[in-house]
Amino acid sequence: MLVVVPTTTTKPLPCPFCGDVNVSIDTTDEVFRYVTCGFCGAHGPCCGSEDEDAEHGHDYAAAAERDAIAAWNDARRDAKRYRRSRKASGE
């Protein structure tokens, strides 16, 4: 049986800094999105672009949300790798 494991998820992982699961997707306007931790206040990069033109029929807000979640989840994975490498080196 073939099992497909997605490389990205559609929802944010727990906070890479404090581990809290109370994270949300916030917005600065109609297009820009970022993920914020409700416990420690950490936030991911703001994703979106001022040059995006809604007249072309693209759902830029959804794309910005996907990018924000991907960036947040990448930070989570990087933080876990960093902690493992420090533990393995005895620091």
pLDDT of residue 21: 93
* DSSP annotation of 54: G
The answer as to whether 72 is a domain residue is yes
The answer as to whether 28 is a domain residue is yes
Map residue 52 onto helix, strand or coil: coil
* DSSP annotation of 29: S
Within 10 angstroms of residue 11's Cβ, the number of other Cβ atoms is: 10
CA distance 14 to 72: 9
How many folded domains does the chain comprise? Answer: 1
Is the pTM of the predicted complex or chain greater than 0.75? no
Amino acid at 23: V
User: What's the first-to-final CA gap in the chain, in angstroms?
Assistant: 42
The answer as to whether 70 is a domain residue is yes
Enclosing domain of residue 43: 23-48+57-86
pLDDT of residue 91: 60
Inter-residue contact 35 to 24 (CB < 8 Å): yes
- Residue whose structure tokens are 């600065």: 28
The answer as to whether 81 is a domain residue is yes
The answer as to whether 14 is a domain residue is no
| Tens-digit pLDDT profile for residues 36-78 | 999 999 999 888 876 655 555 567 778 888 999 998 888 877 7
The answer as to whether 3 is a domain residue is no
